[in-house]
Structure formats: C-alpha cells, structure tokens
Amino acid sequence: MAKSVPMVRDWQLNRLKGRDFIDFADYTPAELEYLLNLAETIKEKQKKGEMYQPLLGKTLGMFFTKASTRTRVSFEVGMFQLGGHALFLSGSDTQIGRGEPISDTARVMSRYVDGIMIRTFGHDDVVELAEHADIPVINALTDLHHPCQVLADILTLKEYKGKLQGLTVAYVGDGNNMANSWIQAAPKFGLNMRVATPTGYECDPAVVEQTKKFAKEYGTELVFTNDPVEAVQGADLVYTDVWASMGQEAEQEERVQKFADYQVNEALCSHAKPDYLFMHCLPAHRGEEVTAEIIDGPHSVIFDEAENRLHVQKAILAATLG
C-alpha cells in the first residue's frame, strides 16, 4: 500500500521560495502536494474572478530555443495574472545563440529579472543555468524532462478521480522527456506507473534507477515492459506522446514503423478500466500515436489538461518567486 503524503505546514513553505524547479528529484512528496494544492486554490480564485497578484513588480525572463504554443502562452499569461511581467527571449535574439557562456548569461540575468523559465534541448544547459543563477530557474521542457506538464497532468487526474493514491498510470510510446518525468513524479504522489516502449526506446537509464528507489521508498508499483497491453491492463489513466519529438524529424519514418504496435486505440484501451482517462501533452498526431476516436472521445480530457498548465505554472511561479 502506498504511503500517504504528509501535508506541508505553513512554516515549511518558505523552503520553496528561491528554489529551482528543474525536475521532481529534489522535491519531497509534501512539497509537491503543496504545489498541487496551491494550483487548485489559484484556479478556484480565477474561476471566481478574484485577484491574486503575489508577483507585483516582478519579471520572468523566458528563454526559448524550442518552438512553443502552450508553454509560452501559459507562462506569459500566468505572470500577467499574478501581477508580474514576462519577457520573451528567443535563441536567435540572445547572446547565448552567439556563443556566450551560459554561466555569464545566468549571472547577468540574475541582476535584471526575478526568475528564469527556459524551454530548450539539452537538460545540462538548464542545470548549468541554475547552478550559476542567483534566482529561481524553471524547466519548461528539455529533452530529458518536462515537469511542468506532468504536474498539470497530475492535477487533472486528481480533479477527475478525486484522489491520487493507488491509481495506475499507463504510459505507451516513446520513453522520452514525458515518460521520464512521469516515472519520476508518480511514486511521490502515490501513483502506480507502467511504461510500455519499443525495444531501444526506453526511458533514460539513470532516471529509471532513480525512480526505482522512489517507488521502493513510497511503496508504489513501477513496471517497464515492451507490451502495451500489459501496461494498460486495469489502468486509470492512459497516456501517450508523439513518436518523434522536436529534433527527431529525420527519424519519423523509422519511428512510425517501430511504434506501429504502440498506437493508443479502442482495442488497446479496452484493457483499461471502464472509466479510464486519456491524456496527451499535445500537439498530437491523430492517426499516429493515437486515433481520433480516442483523443476526441468521451474518455479524453486533453483540453482540461492543457488548461491546467496555466494554473500549475502559476503555482510554481508564486511559490518560487513570491
């Protein structure tokens, strides 16, 4: 049986101020539960039209070297709604794109803005940025992790199921950044996790070993398989992502062939619980990793999931910059 997650007391909340949000490894279950609860509170305030602006006068520098729709809009809108300002910085518009050391950029930006959000390819770049910055750094996506998305996914799951403890999540497809963040976060929320990938496309080995320790510590199930039916059997949530992410376009045809048996369709989902949910981080390729019947069907909650990016990221911003 999974351990219950302890609640964060008020005097503990200051531990999140000034903290980076790079992945889930350094966050305790209690701290993650606090972020989820804060996101729920912020969302409720917004629905009621109540003002909540803990970041008045603060600025977030947003670095992008990967294209974005949801990430840019949700962070920019989120900072505005929290009373702050977001500054968009593309790779071609900054000196990083011309070879300036990341450490120099981090030191300079620390004197201009109150926090940095970065969406890029190399995870090591984000780690280096955080090491040299004196302000919070938020990982909005790297090739290794996508923690903001997974926290939004978990909030959506909690909203629909009313709980998290003991639920089973099935991830089917590429063992990419989404899968890595899911397996890292799941045990800390008391979730059982099953991942089905083709041979050669498994999750990052270092993250897998780390996650096995988390699952053992928190008493949750963690299964890695090449059989999508095994993963989906009795699942509360079925999750997938594109087969070829940004930067992998040259592998598209090869991946389509190797992932053919990993499509999320009605036949596969018939093995999940009758009231299962379907999620996808978007953008999706209907007819590839998921059929239109599933992604547009009654079990799909993809747009509620996408909306929750806004609320979760506002919670992260408020907690770390506020």
Residue 224 confidence (pLDDT) above 90: yes
Contacts of residues 229-233 at CB distance under 8 Å and 24 or more positions apart, as own/partner, are 229/268, 229/271, 230/194, 230/196, 231/170, 231/171, 231/172, 231/194, 231/195, 231/196, 232/170, 232/172, 232/194, 232/196, 232/268, 232/269, 232/271, 232/272, 233/271, 233/272
Q: Is 106 exposed, middle or buried (0-12, 13-18, 19+ CB in 10 A)?
A: buried
- Supply the mean pLDDT for the chain: 94
281 is catalytic: yes
**pLDDT score of 13:** 54
Q: Is residue 5 predicted with pLDDT exceeding 80?
A: no
Indicate if the pLDDT at residue 99 is higher than 90: no
The model's confidence at residue 251, banded by pLDDT at 50, 70 and 90, is confident
pLDDT tens profile 256-289: 999 999 999 999 999 999 999 999 999 999 999 9
Per the annotation, the verdict on 23 as an active-site residue is: no
Q: How confident is the model at residue 67 (pLDDT cuts 50, 70, 90)?
A: confident
Answer whether residue 120 shows pLDDT above 80: yes
> Residues 19, 145, 146, 311: which is the catalytic one?
146
269 is catalytic: no
pLDDT surpasses 70 at 97? no
Q: Is 281 annotated as a binding residue?
A: yes
Determine whether 9 is an active site residue: no
On whether 178 is known to bind a ligand per the annotation, the reply is no
Catalytic residue selected from 123, 153, 281, 311: 281
Q: Say what the pLDDT of residue 91 is.
A: 76
- Residue 70 marked as a ligand binder: yes
Residue 149 falls in the annotated catalytic set: yes
User: Known binder of ligand: residue 313?
Assistant: no
Residue 22 has pLDDT above 50, yes or no: yes
Marked catalytic residue, from 263, 309, 311, 313:
309
Was 279 annotated as part of a binding site?
no
Rounded to an integer, the average pLDDT of 115-140 is 97
Q: Is 241 a catalytic residue?
A: yes
Residue 286 and residue 278 in contact, taking contact as beta carbons nearer than 8 Å:
no
pTM for the whole structure: 0.94
pLDDT tens-digit map of 128-163? 999 999 999 999 999 999 999 999 999 999 999 999
Q: What pLDDT score was predicted for residue 245?
A: 78
Is residue 255 annotated as involved in ligand binding? Answer: no
Mean pLDDT of 9-25: 79
Q: What is the pLDDT of residues 70-91, one digit of tens each?
A: 999 999 999 999 999 999 998 7
Catalytic residue among 19, 20, 72, 119: 119
